[in-house]
Structure 1
């Protein structure tokens, strides 16, 4: 049975596997060996735990020499694997539609392994007239406008006739078809000719469906790389063959074998179609649909013709049925995307995972992202489940989506963290708040988005350095940042959270069954107000959506305000042999759901039967009517679930069976029904549910996450209203009696917590949190904890007389790096250096830099604040001494007292435990605080011509708009004493 003492060493020095990792944007294969080794050594020195690397377009360089697949890229990849492995860091290859190594130079658009789509040509039939002759073919050379995703299209040469369908239009419409009269004419086609006459005088439309390659490519690469087919087995077979024969050289395989955390990372699936049909396809789709769904898809194809943007959530169908048949068509549409999900699982993820395991690689993936695939079902096929802050805007409800399968199947839940459209602009606190939100959802692996070398190609690289992910997207967490000086302290702190919150098993109160093939995973890319004005990322993240008490999918906040935890998953996952119900909770060795909620109108009848079986064994189930959930947040569209489980999702003819199953469920005493989501908590309490870390009184500011580690309960607490909230007091009630300890994430020290009591076999934890503050508690139920009251700190001294020096960062000289590997050419890089100028402030008060004399609004960098404090009655045995910094304006930094080791601090509640470093009498205090590069880059005109990508995504034009930020320590700074137990 683990004890708290077992964790002390790891909390003091978090092992490397718990540290944040990095997404590294390489300048294709251009970086010199010296640069690669230096970057990896630097990342390791700064405390990062691993690197996920990929090739980014470096502009006008020789892609044949440096692109993916070239000798230079293979050589560089081997160096990255070798150097990270030597330092105990993880290493990840990056795969995904827009990264060339997910695609192949060995195929073309017509190859069976290439991505395919189903296109359509439409012909109007004149009333009563006979049509004869050749069917209209797709003009494969035609332009259809720019794709919503990067890359260019190479037209295929071949197209294959798939189906010919005729349907009459409803009178007075141009897009509504009479379902009952649809005619499948495919069997009447001879060669590619059709002789047919419409049977009546209505307006008829002929739909001629052709399958062909999408022609989607990815760059940069040494040659043209085509996107592979994610539905037919041909796609992944070709990928595995290429990696086996070309990429995984004996040397690379040896290096991979030395790294237990070597991975393949599959990024978002930004596949696109080109034609008017808009359907993803493959040579097996039609037959697989018939086998799995029990009917032919061909007659329904006109109702599947679609238009979509970058991601499937914006899908709009070109043709609708008559009103009588709308439910039937909705079921067919569901069956189509369910079949695509099946094929993605069985023909892509499963064999790819097996292949990677055979070659010493784990598979981490953003499953289903972007495509019409169910979000949670594929998650079981991967070793690590990844989400992304960019697409989900740091929304707890969005992170709960993939938390369900992650916790059900014990998968590592991680996130690409830090991608926004505001690079170099925001204070470090903004990114700390993203991580804090993710921890509350059980995301315990942070992959920062991202890292780039400052060195890059000649002619395109200027200060502050090689952009990597373009100057439009994502923050950089590398040495161009003034805050990088403090990354070792920060990485240790995040490592402590991630270490403790991976221990034991998650304890989640409620599981919510939810199925969605069109998840809106673009809520974070851009925000606009009611008048169409761009809302800056920092304002959207900090003030809108969840920070304005608006969740997206489970919109009632009653459970959250009660302190209950919950998450989502597709109900079919309950039938997996690895999932069980023990008579009390679902998946006892996993999340341990005390009850399940069903709220959507559609419920799979087999899932309903399983629920009935488990409910007969005691499972608590709540049926909720009238729940609204977001469809596309940007468009302001929602789905309203009027009557829970009132139909099956697919065209299976089992609606009456489902109704009978639900009737039987409703008759059970441990099944309740709520007429609206607002009744959820009361209904669950009526079933006997008590939250495992519930609030004694409702609290609208706090999120929690709980892990059970034997007798230990690790409780994470977060005040998520970081821009709009005030200090909040809360009492958490956890099961069992025990002693309460609080871990200081910035030092690793563990202290007894003042403010604990017992009530009815539970332990109450009382605390106050400032906006944005986090706390980490452990309740040791093996110890007999004594009740204690919270103790107010006593003021020892105010620190107000400061000596201030600001180290101002600006562009320095460029260094030319030349490499000759004896291949007949030189590789040349430019490394922009930073010039640092020390500016002494004449005044001694704490103000933002823009208001300090001699500093002003054009300065970015690091400021050092020095003062002395006298402690006459110093009693470290009886008291802890805390140095409260007040505010650093969100800047990362450190505190050094009397020359001792530097200590880091939380950017929302900057407090340092000074007990070990102080002494009686006079003490020197040195505080260093960093800024972003925002103010200096404004002064340099960096943003003047920089397009705002968020505007571009909605068809608008404009440059980035930022403002001078208030950087630096502003206090008030004071030293307080807190009595020890």
Structure 2
């Protein structure tokens, strides 16, 4: 953890890597050791703390209480000897002092590499900061240009992501990266699981996704088809053309990620509340619910107009929980922030003391906390009472949420364009409710950004008061919605002069253009008895035609499935072959998973699902209906889907809310629906797993006696419906 030699110092060796790249990157530290150490550590320790570490070396020995080697990959291999002191903290103070010096040395290392990348390679530097090392990760996150976390270690925990992103945001980092998608699911990781992991990372502050991973796909030494498989069939995912989704869905997902990332790089993120936290070592089991870092000592940690980080996240309050640990420097900074007007909320009582070998420091913290609790702008609340206190202080979130589910949000403000970006992720089942924004956003024009297609469209229904803008939202589980709030005059396609403030359930969509104005899509799914109308912002009411005049929704039946089987080549050693393919045809009265079709139970590949329907629709229900257009709805996408109507490709569907207006593709008479649905490769690979060899050995799952995952669900499932609608022009 000292300065590294510079191999490119000589002029003839210098390379301008910035021509072809942007970032130099360091992966996680996977070093094994007994105790982390450098030759200069004892001297650094003596200078920092004023006493010799040598007397306490036995305490540093790796054990179950104080692991000081690799806290992840050596977690379950403690040393043979462990020393515990007969002190009130069992030696924790000495451990914390030691780890603090490790952090200092590691910071020197990161700064040296960062400077080298910038000055010699003309690149920014990214690293998975202190990953696996026995130190507080948050302390050194601000050092690198693009700090990177990992979904595997953080376990899809939003709180863990916010712990990581907090110090990065306060330090003004524009990119917070994530190595995304490593799970115990090789060849069996569906996109819906990846979308869940990405959604949680994004609302946790991540705005760069690097997928894990991609392997060499050619022939390999003593390795059979499907080829070299990193981590020996234990870890996802192997993205290549040996996956049926490679040409049938992956690009849609990647484009969705790209557009989400784009919105999360615009302007500056604003975050409602910071939560103080201090630990001496960060590992997967120790992530608490928190958003902010360490001792609040980086350059962005200033207070102005009652907010922390005025040029960045603008935290409106700082929460200190009773189960957190307070350092002396943290206490000094918090006391200063309170003096400068930042609300400090002590939740559940006073926090604990971060142990140090310096007894006078512990006494100073204890006395300082008592004094802090009675200071101006400091509020003591019961555990669970933070939200109530924030409201009492007149503080409201950037996006107020009212829902019957669980929605998580991000908010960004771009001062150069005046556009605000709201992202809402549904971390629950299907739910509905409202979001409310205040401030300057309430006077702007709300627009939906469809991250799956890139389309922008004005919001039809919302309500504006003197104080806020509120709009209704309905989300499917795992769905991400992006709404921008733009100053008037920015939308090239024009802006509506009016909008709805209330619409009945039979209005299932609306479009806008400058020529026709608003066109509401009215379906036959309202009440048979209740009179329905649209309430406009101009205070006009638009009476709906009797919705029964519109044809009723109907399900598609009598599907034909052509299953394209992807299997191993006849010569199993021919690892470079994508797959040996053949087709089987199946007539389906209902749509069920391949696991429920005997011949397809162990199959993987592509499903070509086709069905037909008549247009205009015939009589369905009580009335002879007509229609101007229709939506198609797929209630459940297990992995991916690509849709064509009468041979025309429909733009990518939102895999979490798969529906589309197909009106422009319809023709009189018989209409054909073709859905191409890829599977993962796991079910087939699972069926031949004992025949596979990986560098001369059985797959690791078998060689190490690990549990083999079961059959996965694949294909097109549940009823697919057509929802006709009538157009209602609103001017």
Q: Which shifted more, 643-652 or 727-736?
A: 643-652
1:597 equivalent to 2:359? Answer no
Query: 2:486 — aligned with what?
Result: 780
Quote the offset at 1:922 in angstroms.
4.7
1:419 equivalent to 2:168? Answer no
Quote the offset at 1:943 in angstroms.
9.0
Query: 2:29 — aligned with what?
Result: 269
1:731 equivalent to 2:434? Answer yes
Q: Distance in 2 between matches of 1:807 and 1:297?
A: 67
Q: Which shifted more, 903-912 or 403-412?
A: 903-912
| Preserved CA contact (<8 Å) 2:277 2:325 | no
Quote the offset at 1:700 in angstroms.
4.8
Secondary structure of residue in 1 paired with 2:457: strand
| Preserved CA contact (<8 Å) 1:585 1:592 | yes
Quote the offset at 1:940 in angstroms.
1.9
Query: 2:609 — aligned with what?
Result: 865
Which 4+ runs in 1 deviate beyond 6 A? Answer: 978-981
Identify the match of residue 2 of structure 2 among 225, 232, 239: 232
1:380 equivalent to 2:142? Answer yes
Quote the offset at 1:608 in angstroms.
1.7
Quote the offset at 1:844 in angstroms.
5.0
Deviations 1:132-187 (A, max 9, x none): xxxxxxxxxxxxxxxxxxxxxxxxxxxxxxxxxxxxxxxxxxxxxxxxxxxxxxxx
Identify the match of residue 789 of structure 1 among 498, 502, 505: 502
Query: 1:623 — aligned with what?
Result: 346
Query: 1:744 — aligned with what?
Result: 450
Query: 2:516 — aligned with what?
Result: none
**Any gaps of 5 or more consecutive residues in structure 2?**
490-496, 509-522, 524-551, 618-626, 693-697
Q: Distance in 1 between matches of 2:353 and 2:184?
A: 42
CA 1:301/1:674 → structure 2, altered by over 3 Å: closer, same or farther? farther
CA 1:513/1:942 → structure 2, altered by over 3 Å: closer, same or farther? farther
Deviations 1:304-347 (A, max 9, x none): 2222475269578812222xx2238322211110110011001x
Q: Distance in 2 between matches of 1:403 and 1:577?
A: 16
CA 1:799/1:709 → structure 2, altered by over 3 Å: closer, same or farther? farther
| Preserved CA contact (<8 Å) 1:421 1:948 | no
Identify the match of residue 856 of structure 1 among 579, 592, 600: 600
1:924 equivalent to 2:672? Answer yes
Query: 2:723 — aligned with what?
Result: 975
CA 1:299/1:625 → structure 2, altered by over 3 Å: closer, same or farther? farther
Query: 2:515 — aligned with what?
Result: none
Identify the match of residue 904 of structure 1 among 647, 652, 665: 652
CA RMSD of aligned residues (A): 3.1
CA 1:790/1:769 → structure 2, altered by over 3 Å: closer, same or farther? farther
| Preserved CA contact (<8 Å) 1:755 1:767 | no
Deviations 1:38-68 (A, max 9, x none): xxxxxxxxxxxxxxxxxxxxxxxxxxxxxxx
Q: Distance in 2 between matches of 1:887 and 1:381?
A: 44
Identify the match of residue 608 of structure 1 among 325, 331, 335: 331
1:320 equivalent to 2:84? Answer yes
| Preserved CA contact (<8 Å) 1:408 1:579 | yes
| Preserved CA contact (<8 Å) 2:270 2:313 | yes
Alignment of 1:170-181 (within 5 A): none
| Preserved CA contact (<8 Å) 1:756 1:764 | yes
1:349 equivalent to 2:117? Answer no
| Preserved CA contact (<8 Å) 1:371 1:518 | yes
Quote the offset at 1:696 in angstroms.
3.4
CA 1:781/1:763 → structure 2, altered by over 3 Å: closer, same or farther? farther
| Preserved CA contact (<8 Å) 1:898 1:917 | yes
Q: How many residues align?
A: 648
Q: Distance in 2 between matches of 1:623 and 1:880?
A: 57
CA 1:294/1:978 → structure 2, altered by over 3 Å: closer, same or farther? farther
| Preserved CA contact (<8 Å) 2:639 2:714 | no
Alignment of 1:626-645 (within 5 A): 643-645=350-352
Deviations 1:492-539 (A, max 9, x none): 12211111121111111111111223222269xxxxxxxxxxxxxxxx
Identify the match of residue 412 of structure 2 among 707, 714, 718: 707
Q: Distance in 1 between matches of 2:646 and 2:153?
A: 45
Q: Distance in 2 between matches of 1:879 and 1:504?
A: 41
CA 1:652/1:369 → structure 2, altered by over 3 Å: closer, same or farther? farther
Q: Distance in 2 between matches of 1:851 and 1:468?
A: 31
1:498 equivalent to 2:294? Answer no
CA 1:418/1:976 → structure 2, altered by over 3 Å: closer, same or farther? farther
| Preserved CA contact (<8 Å) 2:318 2:343 | yes
Deviations 1:374-431 (A, max 9, x none): 1111111111111111122211121112110221123211111111121112322111
1:405 equivalent to 2:167? Answer yes
CA 1:421/1:867 → structure 2, altered by over 3 Å: closer, same or farther? same
**Any gaps of 5 or more consecutive residues in structure 1?**
1-230, 524-551, 555-565, 627-642, 817-828
CA 1:700/1:902 → structure 2, altered by over 3 Å: closer, same or farther? closer
Query: 2:639 — aligned with what?
Result: 891
Q: Distance in 1 between matches of 2:50 and 2:487?
A: 55
The normalised TM-score by structure 1 is 0.62
Q: Distance in 2 between matches of 1:667 and 1:761?
A: 34
Secondary structure of residue in 1 paired with 2:114: helix
The normalised TM-score by structure 2 is 0.82
Query: 1:696 — aligned with what?
Result: 402
1:570 equivalent to 2:294? Answer yes
Secondary structure of residue in 2 paired with 1:772: coil
Query: 1:89 — aligned with what?
Result: none
